[in-house]
Amino acid sequence: MPPRPVIVGAGRTKFGEHYEKQPERLIEEAWLRASEDAGLERKDLEACYLSDYFLLLTNKLGLEEGFLSELTELHVPMSFTRSFSSAFADACNAIQAGKYDVILVGGIEKMTDRWDKIRDDLMLLGDPWSYYAGGTPESSHELMLRAYIKQHGITGDNLEKLNVALAQISVKNHLHALKNEYAQFQRKITVEQVLEARRSARRPLGLYDFAPISDGAAAVIIASEEVGRKLTDKPVYVLASASATDYLSYHAREDLTGFVATRLAMQRALETAGIRLWDIQLLEVYDQSTLMEMISLEDLGFCKRGEAWKAIFMSCRDYKGYYEINGRKLFVNMNGGLKADGNPLGATGGAQIYEVYKQLRGEAGDRQVKGDGEIRFGGVVELEGFGTKSHVHILGGFR
């Protein structure tokens, strides 16, 4: 078995609208917090991996590696990727290959700096054919919801419960975000508010069903197992990091009611980690919409196809901080998810990893979860586009 990378530090900024801050200030804030958490200085870093989607467009920053070199005053090898998960996976591979012992992974986005054009950019991330046909970033989510309802024959009272279950996801994530100091939205909402927003828009999904446009940064420091054990007495191991890819065009896929890339990535991750599905009690999933959180529960295997809405509906009638599925507790999006924590694309995966890392170390404060016994494993799912590429990471803490 190859050596396991160890997360030894993590940091992030508050997500939201940071008009007053330049990108370098945001990423500096995140990586300084990560360095402080790890007890390391910049001279200890042997390589850096940076992620962002739109800095070239929003802030006219090209060759991001040079940008990061100037910021850190380092001349170590640096690489740029699109998503945080891609950067994180590349860094883990480098650690396992024995190339480096300490790597900084950073993610940054300043989406509100291009508020008037960012939706065009988001549409091209999903499917250029939908873009030229006038499809919005939200259109594929609504098409998937319609396909899901049709395929699984959901009608009458069950359809009403499904719609409420999706609203409950939004309410739940806003509730969790109240305990997250870095979250973009720290206010309660109600199921009725979610439903009213849909009625006002005359659409199956409304304002409160989607993640916002956000700015922010996140950073994680990973080390080789040997070095990591010396740096911390609460190591969080990267047990698996897997990905898979599907067609760019949503309408061309064989299955329109889920993401095959997530299913494949999860299967590979479980095999690599050598654990069973329900060893995982803690999840951070990519809820770019409420529908996507529901679909993730099915794609990952925690719920049967076409039935996740039932577990959500029943769990949220008297919500106790977790979904109850077949008598088991599953803690999902404890930081508020993309919906309430925020969604600065290049940094989003970093915030997800940050949350699981803090939870496994017992450092999540008021939102610290308590499962059936010690929670030793957590999962992270990050998507690129509308399920075009899926990343699954499994982290394990051994205290």
* CA dist., res. 391 & res. 382, Å (int): 5
DSSP classification of residue 118 = H
- Category of 371 on φ-ψ map: left (φ > 0), alpha (ψ -120 to 50) or beta: beta
Nearest to 293 by CA among 253, 252, 353, 334: 334
Tell whether 76 is covered by a domain. Answer: yes
Tell whether 342 is covered by a domain. Answer: no
Tell whether 382 is covered by a domain. Answer: no
Quote the pLDDT of residue 399: 46
Quote the pLDDT of residue 135: 78
Crossing angle, helix 308-317 and helix 156-177, to 10 degrees?
60
* CA dist., res. 293 & res. 277, Å (int): 17
- Looking from the CA of 386 toward its CB, the CA atoms found within 13 Å total 31
Tell whether 156 is covered by a domain. Answer: no
DSSP classification of residue 178 = T
Q: What's the CATH number where 59 sits? A: 3.40.47.10
Query: Which parts of the chain register pLDDT below 70?
Result: 1, 398-399
Tell whether 84 is covered by a domain. Answer: yes
Quote the pLDDT of residue 174: 98
Report pLDDT digits (tens) over 131-179.
Answer: 777 778 889 999 999 999 999 999 999 999 999 999 999 999 999 999 9
Tell whether 162 is covered by a domain. Answer: no
With a CB cutoff of 8 Å and minimum separation 6, the contacts of 394 are: 238, 239, 240, 241, 269, 270, 272, 273, 275, 280, 377, 378, 379, 380
Percent of the chain with pLDDT over 90: 81
Tell whether 366 is covered by a domain. Answer: no
Tell whether 81 is covered by a domain. Answer: yes
Rg (CA), the chain: 20
For 70, the domain range is 6-116+213-231
Q: Which is it for strands 102-110 and 47-51: parallel, antiparallel or unpaired? A: parallel
Nearest to 323 by CA among 160, 373, 265, 334: 334
Task: Please give the tally of structural domains in the chain.
Answer: 1
